[in-house]
Amino acid sequence: MGTRSRTIIHDDAVPLISMYRQFDGYLSGHGLELARFLIDMKIVNGLGLGLEREQVANGAGCLAAQMIAYFKNEPGNIYIEPMPDEDTDHVDYVYKVMVDSGKITVEVTGDGNNFKGTVSEFAKYCKEQ
């Protein structure tokens, strides 16, 4: 049986998207992949001329769309689902990506883990697990 996870992107505490991963959802799998995706990401408000387009998201909605494109490269494993009822969600890990005032933080719960911090702290946390 796979290690299931859910990644939810929030825009100022409002959940935007729920991405379910059927297997490899543990910290040294999905957690590290998510950290690699987020580590140099900059949240901006508008895309001007001359702005580097790599590792830039024009708000939380743009970040969510890029996350789907990053993880979804074949049928299966990655699914977009409605926001779950936390009491009945049967995943091993929940990753919450919070975008607030241009800053990204990550929260992780599951399998005895309870982490909240910056993307850099998250990457270090995943590597240590």
Cβ-based neighbours of 91, under 8 Å, separated by 6 or more: 4, 5, 6, 20, 25, 84, 110
Q: How far apart are CA 98 and CA 104, in angstroms?
A: 6
Q: How far apart are CA 57 and CA 63, in angstroms?
A: 5
Give the structural domain span for 75.
5-128
pLDDT tens per residue, range 95-111: 999 999 999 999 999 98
* Domains of the chain: total: 1
pLDDT reported for residue 26: 96
Region 80-86 average pLDDT: 88
**Residue 89 pLDDT exceeds 90:** no
pLDDT tens per residue, range 32-80: 999 999 999 999 998 877 666 678 999 999 999 999 999 999 999 999 9
Residue 7: closest CA among 21, 27, 24, 22: 21
Q: Tokens 């910290």 label which residue?
A: 27
pLDDT reported for residue 24: 96
The pTM score is: 0.93
Residues in the chain: 129
Q: How far apart are CA 85 and CA 39, in angstroms?
A: 29
Angle at the Cα of 122 (from 124 to 16), degrees rounded to 5? 160
